[in-house]
Structures are given as C-alpha cells and as structure tokens.
Amino acid sequence: MRTLTQQLTQYAAYHRDRRNIATHFVGIPMIVLAVAVLSSRPVWLFAALPLPLSPAWVLFVVATLYYLVLDVPLGLMMAVFSALCLACGQWLAAQSTLTWLAAGIGLFVVGWVLQFVGHMAYEHRKPAFVDDVIGLLIGPLFVLAEALFGFGWRPALREAIEAEVGPTRINPERTAVHHGR
C-alpha cells in the first residue's frame, strides 16, 4: 500500500494550476456530500445498532478507515467531515423523494462540472482518477491537506510533495518565491 506522501504526490501531479485547485475546493466537497445524500437510502434498522444503517455509512466508514491507515490526524479530520456529510445526507434522505434526488443529483452534477472545468479549462490534463481509480478516494484528502498546508500544517509533507511535482500554485507567494521574484 502506498504511503500518504505517495498518494498525495501522485494526486498533486494532476493538480498544479491554482484555478483547478480552487474548483476542487468547491467541487469535491459537493461530490462527497452528494454521495452521502444519494447513498443514505435505503435505510436498514437493526436492533443491535444504535443508528440506522445505510450504504452511506458503509462507504464512509470504509473510506475513513483507509484515511486513518494512511495518517491518523488527517484521518480524524476526514472523519469529522464525513460525519457532517452523513448527518446532512441522512436529513436529506428523510425528506421527500424529489427533495432527496434533486439535492443529491444537483450536488453531484455541479460538483463534477466544476471538476471538469478545472481540468479542461485550467489544468489541461485529465483527472487523476482516470489513471488510478483510487484518486476518487484521495481527492477529498488532497483538498483537506491543501487547505491545511495553507495554515502551515506539516511543512515537511508539503515540501516532499513539491519536491516531486513542483510547487502548488494555490499560494501565489510561494509561486513567486519559487520563480525568483
């Protein structure tokens, strides 16, 4: 299994333009929320479980376990985000079928449109998941890590990624410094 650094580096190689990264900051959370919404139906009740079980719970628990294996602190932060998505997804799934589908499909479509605009208009490169389907799971982790890098979190991890794929252009000051300005 690849390490956190290897996974983020591979994903980052497809995401160097800051405008593309910006579309991911909006689109990926929309897609993750859409998956939570759409997979929150059907719901199964088991006497032994305190909460109703849905495909969303299974997906998000498996993803969170994978994130925790890659990195405990980042996995815990993703668990918080996942819990928020699950709560919202469950709430929307409890609404009318029209509301549930409109919200889920709307978030999903708009999120993917943003991803493809970012890749086609700005990055001029196919999305990472085309070459490696695990990119679908790493995308949310990448967005969280990029946001945290902006706050100075784990500079050694950021430097290791940038040593392989060049500096991220989400932070214009780092790009200017890198180019000698």
Amino acid 124: pLDDT: 82
pLDDT tens digits, one per residue of 20-43: 999 999 999 999 999 999 999 999
Q: Which of 87, 80, 24 is CA-nearest to residue 56?
A: 87
pLDDT confidence tier of residue 177, bands split at 50, 70 and 90:
very low
Q: What percent of the chain has pLDDT over 90?
A: 73
Return the HEC string of the chain: CCCHHHHHHHHHCCCCCHHHHHHHHHHHHHHHHHHHHHCCCCCECCCCCCCCECHHHHHHHHHHHHHHHHCHHHHHHHHHHHHHHHHHHHHHHCCCHHHHHHHHHHHHHHHHHHHHHHHHHHHCCCCHHHCCCCHHHHHHHHHHHHHHHCCCCCHHHHHHHHHHHCCCCCCHHHHHHHCCC
Q: Is the pTM of this model over 0.85?
A: yes
Residue whose C-alpha is closest to residue 24's, from 128, 101, 100, 159: 128
Residue 2 has pLDDT above 60, yes or no: yes
- Confidence (pLDDT) at 48: 82
CA distance linking residue 17 with residue 114, whole number of Å: 14
The pLDDT of residue 92 is above 50: yes
Distance CA 147, CA 156 (A): 15
Sequence spans of domains, the chain: 4-43+50-178
In angstroms, rounded to a whole number, what is the distance separating the alpha carbons of residues 19 and 180? 22
Least confident window among 24-28, 118-122, 147-151, 167-171: 167-171
